[in-house]
Amino acid sequence: MTSFIALRKVTKRYKLGGTMIEVLYEEDLTIEQGEFVALMGPSGSGKTTLLNIIGGLDTVERGSVSVAGGELHTFSNRQLSQWRARHVGLVFQFYHLLQVMSVERNVMLPLLLTGMPSAQCRKRVRDVLEVLGMADYLHRRPEELSGGQQQRIAIARALVTDPALIVCDEPTGDLDRENADMVLGLLAWLNREQGKTIVMATHDPEAAQHTTRVIPVGKARTREASGNHRSAA
Ligand code: ADP
Ligand code: MG
């Protein structure tokens, strides 16, 4: 039985100026469906890199990445974005909401990629915002809302396609304690009551209380790699 998420012998390569930086993960990572996992470790330890790999935002140069039944290391970019649209919701530290659009449009964006008819899209958006207690803000713009409210809107956007997996990168990093606790509580509720598998990178010392497991991420082993790599072009 394979795990919901399984990363084996993964190496990610970044091009930095004229050199290559390789981030090597020496520990394999497995996460089961229904877990709410916090990846914790110092800055530069490779948490964001890991999340981007798990969420299909980025590809690896070596190793295998199995997530929600997809063998991501074998996918083309097009297959990866199709897989992502169906299986993952993404939440970021700075919300990544489009300030010129209404809350409704922001939350609807991922649905537009699915071809859902627009009346159905509007209903789905309203339902999700209602579940998150944000239905009154449908026609507001994100810039009129507090940070905590904006993160709730971003979580609504992550949920709107009903993905099995939610990936969050420092979701409380820009919030005060009260709003951070609200967001952590909301994620824990989504995990418990809606069965979402959640993988979150965080520095927040309170996070462990809300999650089902903490995975420490040690200082990533990085090395400079030079020349003759297939991604070097
Ligand atoms: P964390 O999220 O834990 O702070 P990251 O995944 O952002 O860690 O970074 C892991 C390592 O990869 C660091 O050594 C970082 O410098 C390097 N790295 C991350 N992104 C890039 C990039 N776009 N270009 C070059 N190096 C990068
Ligand atoms: Mg990071």
Record the pTM. 0.93
The verdict on the CB of residue 46 being under 6 Å from ligand 1 is yes
Token representation of residue 127:
């339902």
For 33-216, the fitting CATH number among 3.10.450.50, 3.10.129.10, 3.40.50.300, 3.40.50.1000 is 3.40.50.300
The verdict on the CB of residue 222 being under 6 Å from ligand 1 is yes
> Which range has the worst mean pLDDT, 52-56, 165-169, 205-209?
205-209
Q: Per-residue pLDDT tens for 195-228?
A: 999 999 999 989 989 999 999 998 777 888 765 5
Per-residue confidence (pLDDT) for residue 233, from 0 to 100: 36
Q: Per-residue pLDDT tens for 83-92?
A: 999 999 999 9
Q: How far apart are the C-alpha atoms of 134 and 127, rounded to whole Å?
A: 10
* 8 bridge partner residues: 64
Q: How far apart are the C-alpha atoms of 86 and 111, rounded to whole Å?
A: 10
Q: Where are the domains of the chain?
A: 33-216
Of the listed ligands, the closest to the CA of 47 is: 1
Token representation of residue 155:
């979580």
Tally of CB atoms within 10 A around 189: 14
102 Cα to the center of ligand 1, angstroms:
33
Per-residue confidence (pLDDT) for residue 227, from 0 to 100: 53
The verdict on the CB of residue 185 being under 6 Å from ligand 1 is no
Is residue 183 within 8 A of residue 151, CB to CB? The reply is yes
Per-residue confidence (pLDDT) for residue 83, from 0 to 100: 96
